[in-house]
Structure 1
Amino acid sequence: MPATAALDTFSRHGGRLTAAGAAFPAAPQPWLDLSTGINPRPYPAPRATLAERARLPQPEALRALEAAAAQAFGAPSARVAAVSGSEAAIRMLPGLLGVGRVAIAADTYGGHAEAWRAAGAEITGSPVAADAWVVVRPNNPDGRVAEAADLLDSAAKRWTVVDEAFVETTPQLSLAGQAGGRLVVLRSFGKFFGLAGLRLGFVIADEGVIARQRAQLGDWPVCAEAIAAGLAAYADVAWADRTRARLARDAQRLDLLLGRAGLEVVGGTSLFRLARGAHAPTIFQRLAAAGVLCRPFDDPHLLRFGLPGRPADWARLAAALSGDLP
């Protein structure tokens, strides 16, 4: 596949392994997917019991999950509602908030603009004259952190949505405990806990927003497996602390590998790194030919890398970056 076509195919979002296999059919299997910011060493979550999987989720179990998440977020449980992944909340919020003009930065997660545009909202870059402001914090893909004071000041004037999908690695940055009024916070479960396939996320907001969300989603917004995993994971503080330390070390290790390949790390979090280089398209092609998928962007000089997990994955990435392929 020509370089430009490959970049266009994979620049919208990560995780497109089927498309990668079609674009690079000679690549060795299995693919090493570094195109997302998902923890490659997932939480050892318990499964739901056979009885739990055989019946509809109980409302008491759902409320217990939301209470456990609220405690982890430092927010009142009445202001926390579970959804089937933070992406579901992103797509739902425009309808719940019902505003016509929303400020969203161009260099952030594109799903926000897609959702608001689909709802008929006008997208602008500045919150000054907007009815709502959407901020990803830390930002995806560069990891920048908007000032908390600016966001809280904004929430006194307009709806302010803070997407904290990657905040679990630096929980001290979270504004979840201050959500309410016109401040809405989104949290993701799957990225930090490495269980994205469970599709679990949370909205933290004023009780009125939460009530409208629950009315729209109905009685079973998440499945029994997500409830079982979330209840265990949010209570396991020791695992979370160890994982944050390990991810920070692994991010530094990844920085060294990328630097040796001639890429400059220009941002990110400890779940992903954003790198710049004049030869980034060539590196993307070389990695894909080796069965390693990273994330390109419309700016052809940028690539985003998630973390390898196993020692063999680290060795495979190092070999592909160096061009030392079997």
Structure 2
Amino acid sequence: MITPSIIHGGDLDRARAAFPDAPEPWVDLSTGINPWPYPLPDIPADAWTRLPARSAEAGLRAAAAGCYGVASPDMVAAASGSQALIQLLPRLRRAGTVAVLGPTYAEHAAAWAAAGHRVAAVASLDGLETDVIVIVNPNNPDGRIVPVDRLLELADRQAGRGGWLVVDEAFADVTPAASVSPHAGRPGLLVLRSFGKFFGLAGLRLGILLAEPALAGTVRAAIGPWAVSGPGLAVATAALADSAWIAAMRVRLAAEAERLDGRLTAAGLSVVGGTSLFRLICTPCAPELYNALGRAGVIVRRFDYRTDWLRLGLPKDEKSTTRLLDACRTIKNS
């Protein structure tokens, strides 16, 4: 049965504890991580045995700048995961006011509050006068997109009052037209990118900040040297520069998401949002469905603020899809 605390994405240990009789291996659909990861390139032997060279980090920053359309590698800072950047940024400003456009990923509000800022969740961007505005775009979990023009207007307004607009583009690789990354370098605009989701290599732990050069330099100094492992630098530099793979994967993910929507709809479920890395369904029987999926060894993401929502990642193969849909049908037919 559902336990009082939320099982967050990817937490298979807690899923197994909650559903001890579920079949193995589990089908993990609780994250928005691409199930068809970037093929690992050859990694130089000394990437494992030596501290990363400055030139390796410079190569990563150049590849990131090229991939995200940023004018200069000087506007790029890399860390061991975007979560590290989410927790660092609040400590680079003195305590103030922060608005987080919600509902969204909870870690932003938690990090700013932990650093002593006064945080408010807001449902609209109109009339905000806070020192910092945080927007996840496309949003997790509903895929909401704030248009680029609106984001740039907000960034300019924030800069004029000495504030920041932080745009978390963890899922923007699949919607490049909605990204403000090419505008990085404007005062007041900070963009976060998550390498692991689109490239399917979350265990590599790489997050990237795009900002004006002085601020990016401050972030690099605050993170310190060797923020990314030598093997991580080698893999990410190759992946970010592989424009053919990136383009082909965007097409594949869009097709797979559309296919999944059709099969979920045929199973009697309503798809109400998401991106091509995850889908959001809305059903009054979401708690029962969550439990049915758990008993079948399928973990999905649920939400304490919307008990009628479930978020599903893309199944990696037909066997996984079948297990998902069979569990859905048990609820429909009960």
Q: What interval of TM-score do these two structures reach, taking the shorter chain for normalisation?
A: over 0.9
1:26 aligns with 2:32: no
- After TM superposition, the structure 1 = structure 2 runs for residues 78-227 of structure 1, keeping only pairs within 5 Å, are 78-124=74-120, 125=122, 128-158=128-158, 159-180=164-185, 181-227=187-233
Structure 2 counterpart of 1:90, which letter?
A: I
Between 1:155-164 and 1:301-310, the stretch displaced more is 155-164
Residues in 2 aligned to 1:316 and 1:280: alpha-carbon distance in whole angstroms: 17
Structure 2 counterpart of 1:95, which letter?
A: R
1:64 aligns with 2:59: yes
2:6–2:303 Cα contact (<8 Å) kept: no
From 2, 14, 31, the equivalent of 1:36 is 31
Partner of 1:247: 253
Residues in 1 aligned to 2:327 and 2:36: alpha-carbon distance in whole angstroms: 21
Between 1:105-114 and 1:91-100, the stretch displaced more is 91-100
Structure 2 counterpart of 1:316, which letter?
A: R
2:257–2:276 Cα contact (<8 Å) kept: yes
Q: CA deviation at 1:165?
A: 0.3
TM-score, with structure 1 as normaliser: 0.94
From 268, 271, 274, the equivalent of 1:268 is 274
Q: Which runs of 5+ in 1 are unaligned?
A: none
1:49 aligns with 2:55: no
From 9, 18, 23, the equivalent of 1:14 is 9
- How many residue pairs get matched? 319
Residues in 1 aligned to 2:152 and 2:241: alpha-carbon distance in whole angstroms: 29
Specify the SS of the correspondent of 1:94.
Answer: helix
1:80–1:210 Cα contact (<8 Å) kept: yes
2:97–2:132 Cα contact (<8 Å) kept: yes
Residues in 1 aligned to 2:14 and 2:38: alpha-carbon distance in whole angstroms: 27
Residues in 2 aligned to 1:155 and 1:67: alpha-carbon distance in whole angstroms: 24
Residues in 1 aligned to 2:326 and 2:201: alpha-carbon distance in whole angstroms: 27
Specify the SS of the correspondent of 1:262.
Answer: coil
Residues in 1 aligned to 2:88 and 2:272: alpha-carbon distance in whole angstroms: 32
Structure 1 counterpart of 2:129, which letter?
A: A
Specify the SS of the correspondent of 2:6.
Answer: helix
Residues in 2 aligned to 1:93 and 1:226: alpha-carbon distance in whole angstroms: 22
Residues in 2 aligned to 1:239 and 1:28: alpha-carbon distance in whole angstroms: 34
Residues 261 and 311 of structure 1: CA distance in aligned 2, closer, same or farther (over 3 Å): closer
Residues in 1 aligned to 2:282 and 2:106: alpha-carbon distance in whole angstroms: 20
- Report Cα offsets for 1:68-115 as digits up to 9, x if no partner: 110011102110111111111111111123351011023011110011
1:47–1:225 Cα contact (<8 Å) kept: no
1:104–1:112 Cα contact (<8 Å) kept: yes
1:179–1:204 Cα contact (<8 Å) kept: yes
Specify the SS of the correspondent of 2:190.
Answer: strand
Residues in 1 aligned to 2:30 and 2:277: alpha-carbon distance in whole angstroms: 11
RMSD, aligned α-carbons: 1.5
Between 1:143-152 and 1:290-299, the stretch displaced more is 143-152
Residues in 1 aligned to 2:238 and 2:317: alpha-carbon distance in whole angstroms: 24
- Report Cα offsets for 1:7-61 as digits up to 9, x if no partner: x332xx3111000011111000111000000000100022532211111011100
Q: Which runs of 5+ in 2 are unaligned?
A: 159-163
Identity over aligned residues, as a percent? 49
Residues in 2 aligned to 1:175 and 1:96: alpha-carbon distance in whole angstroms: 22
Residues in 2 aligned to 1:317 and 1:18: alpha-carbon distance in whole angstroms: 19
1:85–1:188 Cα contact (<8 Å) kept: yes
Structure 2 counterpart of 1:53, which letter?
A: W
2:9–2:301 Cα contact (<8 Å) kept: yes
- Report Cα offsets for 1:113-141 as digits up to 9, x if no partner: 01101011111226612011000000000
Structure 1 counterpart of 2:227, which letter?
A: P
Residues in 2 aligned to 1:99 and 1:70: alpha-carbon distance in whole angstroms: 31
Residues in 2 aligned to 1:31 and 1:66: alpha-carbon distance in whole angstroms: 36
1:86–1:200 Cα contact (<8 Å) kept: yes
Specify the SS of the correspondent of 1:157.
Answer: helix
1:323 aligns with 2:319: no
Between 1:47-56 and 1:22-31, the stretch displaced more is 47-56
Specify the SS of the correspondent of 1:156.
Answer: helix
1:160–1:182 Cα contact (<8 Å) kept: yes
1:99–1:132 Cα contact (<8 Å) kept: no
Residues in 2 aligned to 1:209 and 1:164: alpha-carbon distance in whole angstroms: 18
